[in-house]
Structure 1
Amino acid sequence: MNPVSTPSPAVSTPLLEDFSLEMTGKDMPKLEEAAGLIPQGTRVNVTFLGNETLRMRLDAARAVKRLGFVPVPHISARRLGSRAAFEQFLAGLRDGGTGTDVFTVGGDPARPEGPYEDSLSLIESGLLPEYGVRHVGISGYPEGHPAIVEDVLWSALRGKNAALTAQGLDGSVITQFGFDVDRVLTWIEQIRGHGITLPVRVGVPGPAGVRRLMSYATRFGVGTSASIAKKYGLSLTNLMGTAGPDKFLGALAEGYDRGRHGEVKVHFYTFGGLKATCDWIVQFRKEARA
């Protein structure tokens, strides 16, 4: 792991006081290993991947709760084969006491496997509050989406915000990760201009190999120009190296203005592993307070 540069004192603001994490259904042993490094009550998102079973997803959510964290199971719209499958998942979460907070997403398949085209269709189904869901996370894309045009993204975000309000559901936005702080802060101001006041969790990749980060960036359409990469701390000439988000977080804290940006926190994508990410956060917060 790279040494952590001394961050601005501003990083000890609430940006890092209530961070969230992401794991897959297969990461239960890794979560156990990292549990002592994670503050109790931390929100832990559990992904909904195509190679996971219903039991694996439910068990992972229960493991998160058992360890003292808040499980936030993902629901992938296009991976649900039927309304019955959607209800079965929601019922399993409710029965395990892990279904009050969820994150809705369209998902990777190009075509829906059932009746749900996107996360808005999940919200508009009315099933979430019926099964005890109280808080719904939705996606945000500061750098756009490789398969969805900008106008559609804005329309979808406004629609989901309105649907949550209409059903009396709390919500938040988790952004796709990126390397350009200026784009992120500008985008947050834009959503406020659209009348969306939901809290925003800025997606940040935990420390990982540069080659791996580049691979994920290509997959998700994240900009990696030489100037942005340098500003973030990536070396495009040394793909064997590693990088953490210390410069990004320092710049985010420096540019963040609650009056313009509203409530903003951080969500870590654990590309380099749960424990590596949590070790990094502990060290970074320690140096921020020094």
Structure 2
Amino acid sequence: MTGKDVHALEEATGLLPHGTRVNVTYLGNEDLAMRVTAARAVLQHAFTPVPHISARRLPSAPALEAYLSALAEAGAAEEVCVVGGDPAEPAGPYEDALAVIRGGLLAKHGVRHVSVAAYPEGHPRISDRLLWRALEDKHRVLGQQGVGMTAITQFGFDPAPVLDWLEQARDRGIDCPVRVGVPGPAGVKRLLRYARRFGVTSSAGVAQKYGFSLANLLGTAGPGRFVRALADRLDPARHGEVLLHFYPFGGLRATALWVRDSQSAVTP
């Protein structure tokens, strides 16, 4: 959710079990008060807030400390998600998520678990070699700090690259939980727009397997086929602990309804 989605979160209350993790984004057009208010709202509805920290949007270390202190005061600092962020040039001293993690301020302010980004289909501007090195470094540094880690993957329409990536991650010693990114039910046009933005494969064959046609952009599509195919092929011995992370492109309530109605296929 964003800082503007507090009302939408209220509409989803009652559809999801208490303790559900809700990520709170770190957008450039929102301020500290909006982000902290959103995190408080997550707590007030008996969910677990996971506030984002966007490294390249941070103007200074004191600004990061102010944000972490405000989250701690709200009781929402125990789990955060640290991402690099969209700006081409950093606004301050943090080039990427690893720089924030290495700085040591997270644990100092009560952070006990950090989610980081992962890209089974690669990143449009970062090589696979650098992506793997960054993930391995984050895993190592957080372990040294005594802070837990979860990898949250970019969403996709095809489980095959996700499963391949999971095997590679485990072979590289990355043994943390992985939450596989899943788009909530949304319009086909919107899904394709996000896919183009983030470099997600959306060929005709992949789209058909996922459950929509590139010839019909007016329809909607849900993640049912993707989740079933992923679950059928998961092997805990090879893939480790795997959960789901929903991107609510079609809205929080629509995603919450899908999860509630699909509990036979989804493990919370």
Deviation at 1:271, TM superposition (A): 0.2
Identity of aligned residues (%): 58
Measured against aligned partners, the alpha-carbon deviations of 1:100-158 in whole angstroms (never above 9, x if no partner) come to 00000000101100000110001000000000000000110000001101111011000
Q: Please, which runs of 5 or more residues in structure 1 have no aligned partner?
A: 1-22
Q: Answer 1 or 2: higher relative contact order, Cα 8 Å, separation at least 6.
A: 1
1:172 aligns with 2:160: no
Q: Which residue of 2 aligns with 1:257?
A: 235
CA distance in 1, matches of 2:144, 2:112: 13
Alignment equivalent of 1:50, drawn from 28, 31, 53: 28
TM-score, length-scaled by structure 1 = 0.91
1:62 aligns with 2:29: no
Residue aligning to 2:184: 206
Cα root mean square deviation, aligned: 1.1
Aligned to 1:106: 84
Q: Write the mapping of 1:114-153 to structure 2, written as runs, cut at 5 A.
A: 114-153=92-131
User: Unaligned 5+ residue runs, structure 2?
Assistant: none
Pick from 59, 77, 80: which aligns with 2:55?
77
Query: Which residue identity does 2:29 align to in structure 1?
Result: N
Partners of 1:267 and 1:62 in 2: CA distance? 21
Deviation beyond 2 Å, 4+ runs, structure 1: 286-289
Aligned equivalent of 2:254: 276
1:3 alignment counterpart = none
Cα deviation, 1:69-105, whole Å, max 9, x if unaligned, reads: 1000000000000111100000000111000000000
Counterpart CA distance in 1 for 2:226 and 2:266 is 14
SS in 1 for 2:82: strand
Would you say how many aligned residue pairs link Structure 1 and Structure 2? 267
Name the CA distance, whole Å, in 1 between partners of 2:200 and 2:263. Answer: 26
Q: What SS does structure 2 have at the residue aligned with 1:90? A: helix
TM-score (norm 2): 0.98
Q: Report the CA distance between 1:60 and its aligned residue.
A: 0.2
The counterpart of 1:233, out of the listed 207, 211, 234, is 211
